[in-house]
Amino acid sequence: MTTSTQTKTVARPPLLQDGYRQAFLLLRTVFTVAPILFGLDKFVRVLKPDWEVYLAPWMNGMIGMDAHTFMYIVGAVEIVAGILVAFLPRIGGYVVALWLLGIIVSLVSVGGYLDIALRDFGLLVGALALSSLAAGRKSDRTR
């Protein structure tokens, strides 16, 4: 007696069939939401009440204003960067990567935050990957 085994194929949703699209959507979502949330927190200070500790003293001397006021500008830039990623991810990814590079330089200069600098380096690489994926799409707004 012979038995036949039939395998059932389950149709996967189109999104799950396209790893390229999944990666793009995940990165675009993260790099839209995170900068906006962190930017907003510079104003409401729920997540971190003292963002100024991450600002290197030499940068503090260059900006011509107190660090607390500067953090409002930082917050606004982060919000704009998140919005830019949402609508123009190829350009927004590069903006976020450059912004993260500035943060990394400040964190390394301050000292004591090398773990955060390393994490931000990983995020920088992710932002560059987003820009690369977006450049391969027909337009920044498709799909």
This model's pTM is above 0.75: yes
pLDDT of residue 18: 84
Domain region containing 119: 19-135
Q: Is residue 40 part of a domain?
A: yes
Q: How far is CA 138 from CA 3, 125, 141, in A?
A: 49, 22, 9
Q: Is residue 108 part of a domain?
A: yes
Q: Is residue 54 part of a domain?
A: yes
Q: Output the tens digit of pLDDT for each of the chain's 143 residues.
A: 555 566 666 666 665 678 899 999 999 999 999 999 999 999 999 999 999 999 998 998 899 899 999 999 999 999 999 999 999 999 999 999 999 999 999 999 998 999 999 999 999 999 999 999 999 876 544 44
- Whether the CB-CB separation of 61 and 50 falls below 8 Å is answered with no
- Domains identified in the chain, total number: 1
